[in-house]
Structure 1
Amino acid sequence: MRTTLPDHWIEHHREGGERVGWIVPAGADFLAFDALGRQATREPVDWLTAEEALEELGLRFLGDRFVLDVEGTGGSGGATARPVRIAEVSTDGITVVTDEFGGASAVGSGAQTIRLPFPAPDTLRSADGQR
């Protein structure tokens, strides 16, 4: 199901035309949101600072390893942290591919794809401990 973004979310594109996020009015200032729909500035900032935050972040983080907490897969019925890589991001949703042992892109790896809502849920986090 496609997420309809509020009208006040303003797409921000880098020079090559790729959308790297959104800038959202917050009082007299702005908040930046990354391609996953997550807040990229901790507090409201001026427009230029919001643009700079998105430009600096870019899309490179999408190539990083992530961890997805999957409910009900742990031995005690709790969540299991599964290594994943992001395969696709849009406001329609986020697709991740399981990446046990770094084999997500190997032919015949049997990697599982998991569809997540947009914006990304808190159960998806960077493998290096960052949000």
Structure 2
Amino acid sequence: MTEAGWIEHRRGDRELLGWMAPEGGGFVVIDLLGRPRTSPLPWLDAEEFLDDLGIGYLAERYRYADRPVRIGEVSTSGVTVIADEYGAASAVGAEPERFHLPFPVPADLLVAE
């Protein structure tokens, strides 16, 4: 569930890119995983940051519980990540392990290096 006061930001095709959370005299950018991405910015800068960020980061490889995972589903109700050892998440017929995480995601969901 999003915090009260978060303002949705969508791109031209109405795809949700994230939120802007009022803080002090500016707005903190919140991504689709519920993570703050900036310190407070002016409104237009926050919008531009979200536009530039897009949603491509959802396709990155992550690590959770010392395992490689990929993002499967994202909503404010929770985030599902799928175990992805050796690309198994996309193998036909595979039934990889799934982890259901709260929103915002916990700090131990990390971008894999």
Shift of 1:52: 1.1
Q: Determine if the alignment matches structure 1 residue 27 to structure 2 residue 24.
A: yes
Runs of 4+ with deviation above 4 angstroms: none
TM-score after normalising by structure 1: 0.83
Tell me the distance in 2 between the aligned counterparts of 1:97 and 1:107: 14
Q: Which amino acid aligns with 2:40?
A: P
Shift of 1:6: 2.6
1:52 to 36, 48, 55: 48
* SS of aligned partner of 1:111: coil
Aligned length: 113
- Gaps spanning 5+ residues in structure 1: where? 70-80
| Higher relative helix content | 2
- Gaps spanning 5+ residues in structure 2: where? none
In structure 2, what is the equivalent of residue 114 of structure 1? 99
TM-score after normalising by structure 2: 0.95
Q: Which amino acid aligns with 2:45?
A: T
2:90 to 97, 105, 122: 105
Q: What value does the CA root-mean-square deviation take over the aligned residues?
A: 0.9
- Identity over aligned pairs, percent: 48
- Aligned ranges for residues 76-95 of structure 1 at < 5 Å? 81-95=66-80
